[in-house]
Amino acid sequence: MGGKNVLYAQSGGVTPVINATAAAVIETARAHKPKIGKVFAARNGIIGVLQEQLIDTSKLKKAEVAALKHTPGGVFGSCRYKLKGMADNRREYERLIEVFRAHDIGVFFYNGGNDSADTALKISEMARELDFPVQCIAVPKTIDNDLAVTDNCPGFGSVAKYVAVSIMEASLDVMSMASSSTKVFIMEVMGRHAGWIAAAGGLACREKGDPPQIILFPEIPFDEKAFSAAVKKSVETNGYCSVVVSEGVRDANGEFLADAGTKDAFGHKQLGGVAPVVAEIVKKNLGYKYHWAVSDYLQRSARHVASAMDVAHATAVGEAAVKLALAGESGVMPVIERTSDNPYRWKISTAPLDKIANHEKKMPKKFISRDGFGITPACRTYLEPLIRGEDYPPYGRDGLPKYVRPEFKYLDRKLPAFEV
């Protein structure tokens, strides 16, 4: 690396632990001076790189960096912005090179999911084509847990813990009132194409009859008749029914139940909320009183109930990314490799980005129960270690978590303004 500067950026939907990865990158880089120069962070992901909005993290105090580890959100700002192919928008790639060159940046870390891995891969290929020496390393993050190769994705374990705890607690509430009030509770969770988060709700079901009695996965076409029968059976057997539904559930024709008719910046269909759709089916077919809730941002920002294992994973991939850069690697991602289920053991390995970008890991059939409404023992064996342990943030005297929002020092711009 020869002491060149490093640029770190966050991308896509944030997680409860993405800032732990950021802290690990910064702290590990600082420990390897003078082989590594300064660590800069882009404001709002790749958009900040294009617009030359760069934060000098060397101005952050040691305690401020350490405090990032227990702060949710994306402290440097994230974005949903997908670079087109070089043939379609070469000017953006040329601009990236200009920014890298202007600030002596030799390594680019992009902390995100599938689309971010694709962006890092494209920049890596562009760097070779334009003969500019910049190493591009993607750092894994996504609550959806759908990245290929890696055993799991930092961010998922904490969201899984939140979902399992939430459906357990809400079900105790419903159970208390079911004889004279609400009989069906529906909790919507994220997961557009893969049902990993919905599956995590199944961890609350430790004995027969425990909630959630029904899980609706994107991998299983929604069957209204079978669903209604399952709800009726649970109410008649247990007195109530708790349902976890993934936002990406589709009907037999492959259409989202909650298609809002619009698309996001990545070209993905916007979903308008599947819980009320499912609730209406319960009302229409069974007439039960119901309540529904959408976890939405709550599930991915709940740092107060983060998984200690997830924090360990998020920290490890940040440290590994810096070490890969020191080893001269580019076009790769540090990934989590499970080496044992019982006891749970893992290590960090390396994977090429072309094996990860634009690939999607869905729930395997062996993880979904035969009736399509639950998880199997094999799925529980996979999921359970990922939610182990607590890593509570420090709390202030006012009873609230001590989350940080540091004041940043931005680099002086050296280039003309750029419109995105």
| pLDDT level of residue 265 (50, 70, 90 thresholds) | very low
Annotated catalytic residue, options 56, 115, 131, 144: 144
Token code pair at residue 49: 């790189």
Is the fold of 5-142+304-359 the same as that of 156-302?
A: yes
CA 227 → CA 17, 59, 203, 224, distances in Å?
Answer: 35, 56, 20, 5
Q: Which CATH number among 3.40.50.2020, 3.40.50.450, 3.30.70.1150, 3.40.50.150 corresponds to the domain 5-142+304-359? A: 3.40.50.450
| CA–CA distance, 394 with 385 (Å, rounded to integer) | 24
Q: Which CATH number among 3.40.50.460, 3.40.190.80, 3.30.428.10, 3.50.50.60 corresponds to the domain 156-302? A: 3.40.50.460
Mean pLDDT, the chain, integer:
94
Alpha-carbon 149 to chain mean position: 15
pLDDT tens sequence across 304-351: 999 999 999 999 999 999 999 999 999 999 999 999 999 999 999 999
Q: What is the pLDDT of residue 264?
A: 47
Alpha-carbon 74 to chain mean position: 11
Q: Do residues 28 and 131 touch, judged by C-beta distance below 8 A?
A: no
What does pTM read for this prediction?
0.94
Can 223 be counted among the known catalytic residues? Answer: no
| pLDDT level of residue 172 (50, 70, 90 thresholds) | very high
Mean pLDDT computed over 43-66: 97
Q: What is the pLDDT of residue 270?
A: 52
| CA–CA distance, 408 with 410 (Å, rounded to integer) | 6
Residue 107: is its pLDDT beyond 80?
yes
Task: Give the domain ranges of the chain.
Answer: 5-142+304-359, 156-302
Q: Is the CA virtual torsion 288, 167, 300, 160 positive or negative? A: negative
pLDDT tens sequence across 125-135: 888 888 888 99
Per-residue HEC secondary structure of the chain comes to CCCCEEEEEECCCCCCCHHHHHHHHHHHHHCCCCCCCCEEEECCHHHHHHCCCEEEHHHCCHHHHHHHCCCCCCCCCCCCCCCCCCCCCHHHHHHHHHHHHHCCEEEEEEEECHHHHHHHHHHHHHHHHCCCCCEEEEEECCCCCCCCCCCCCCCHHHHHHHHHHHHHHHHHHHHHHCCCCCCEEEEEECCCCCCHHHHHHHHHCCCCCCCCCEEECCCCCCCHHHHHHHHHHHHHHHCCEEEEEECCCECCCCCECCEEEEECCCCCEEECCCHHHHHHHHHHHHCCCEEEEECHHHHHHCHHHCEHHHHHHHHHHHHHHHHHHHCCCCCEEEEEEEEECCCCEEEEEEEEHHHCCCCCCCCCHHHECCCCCCECHHHHHHHHHHHCCECCCCECCCCCECCCCCCCCECCCCCCCCCC
